[in-house]
């Protein structure tokens, strides 16, 4: 089962990807993990990617696709895999489809975890992180015993820059512009499935499993 996870930043697709990977016993693959592994192992593709990253440049779509395809060719992907964070754009999706076709393979499902922007802004702006031990909380879902103080070490909690409403809104705008067109792309390929990501994490998971099992 070859799956792509789609959804806005903060929609919870990463959490669902991990849970699905555990259930179906297939690898959960993120481009960040692929980059780090290839750079650490000094592979030719990793060295190429590093030259761009060291300059603060985006790694070209073709090279990212080569890295992803190289990863999914490995033995642990024989039963399938879950791609999280790739593709992000239509050109990347087209490159991936073309590369997979060359090895007589294709994506089975593109799972879109649908959450309204307002929910995501509220969800992420409620996050709090400990400046000392790194523990994370949420003002609504995982509150601390004392407001603003870490339960674990007693230090102050902060609202990280990435979680501030204005930052989240900017990220969502980029998502809608670049990534959301993938929903139409995979709909046309008859591989898109959608779930309501506003529900409880386990309910979302059960809904995805039910769809994939049909």
- The residue extents of the domains of the chain are 2-117+169-213
Query: Two tokens at 211?
Result: 């769809």
Please answer whether residues 179 and 88 qualify as being in contact, where contact means their C-beta atoms are separated by less than 8 angstroms. yes
Q: What is the CATH number of domain 2-117+169-213?
A: 3.40.50.300
127 is a catalytic site residue: yes
pLDDT above 80: residue 66: yes
Q: Specify which residues 81 forms β-bridges with.
A: 2
Bridge partners for 194 per DSSP: 112
Residue 128 annotated to the active site: no
* DSSP state for residue 58 in the 8-state scheme: P
Name the active-site residue from 2, 13, 71, 128: 13
pLDDT at 214: 58
Q: What is the pLDDT of residues 158-200, one digit of tens each?
A: 999 989 999 999 999 999 998 899 999 999 999 999 999 999 9
pTM above 0.75, yes or no: yes
Percent of the chain with pLDDT over 90: 81
Res. 43: pLDDT tops 70: yes
- Please identify which of the residues 48, 50, 164, 171 carries the catalytic annotation: 171
Q: What is the mean pLDDT of the chain?
A: 93
> Which residue bears the tokens 């080569």?
66
Question: What confidence tens digit (pLDDT) does each residue in 94-143 have?
Answer: 999 999 999 999 999 999 999 999 999 999 999 999 999 999 999 988 99
With tokens 């440049």, the residue in question is: 57
pLDDT for 178 equals 87
In which band, very low, low, confident or very high, does the pLDDT at 17 lie, cut at 50, 70 and 90? very high
Which of 2, 71, 123, 127 is labelled catalytic?
A: 127
Largest CA distance in the chain: 57
Separation CA 39–CA 99 (nearest Å): 22
| Opening angle at CA 25, ends 19 and 30, nearest 5 | 60
ω into residue 87 within 30 of 0, thus cis?
Answer: yes
């Amino acid at each position: 089962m070859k799956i792509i996870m789609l959804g806005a930043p903060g929609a919870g697709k990463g959490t669902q990807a991990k849970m699905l990977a555990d259930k179906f016993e297939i690898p959960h693959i993120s481009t960040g993990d692929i980059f780090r592994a290839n750079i650490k192992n000094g592979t030719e593709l990793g060295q190429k990617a590093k030259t761009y990253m060291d300059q603060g440049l985006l790694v070209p779509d073709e090279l990212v696709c080569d890295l992803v395809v190289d990863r999914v060719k490995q033995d642990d992907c024989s039963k399938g895999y879950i791609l999280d964070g790739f593709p992000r754009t239509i050109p990347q999706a087209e490159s991936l489809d073309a590369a997979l076709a060359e090895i007589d393979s294709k994506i089975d499902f593109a799972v879109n975890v649908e959450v309204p922007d307002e929910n995501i802004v509220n969800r992420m702006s409620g996050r709090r992180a400990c400046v000392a031990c790194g523990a994370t909380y949420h003002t609504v879902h995982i509150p601390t015993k004392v407001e603003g103080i870490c339960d674990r070490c007693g230090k102050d909690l902060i609202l990280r820059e990435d979680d501030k409403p204005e930052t989240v809104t900017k990220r969502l705008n980029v998502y809608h512009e670049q990534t959301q067109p993938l929903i139409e792309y995979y709909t046309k390929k008859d591989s898109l499935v959608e779930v309501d990501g506003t529900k409880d994490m386990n309910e979302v998971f059960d809904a995805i499993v039910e769809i994939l099992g049909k």
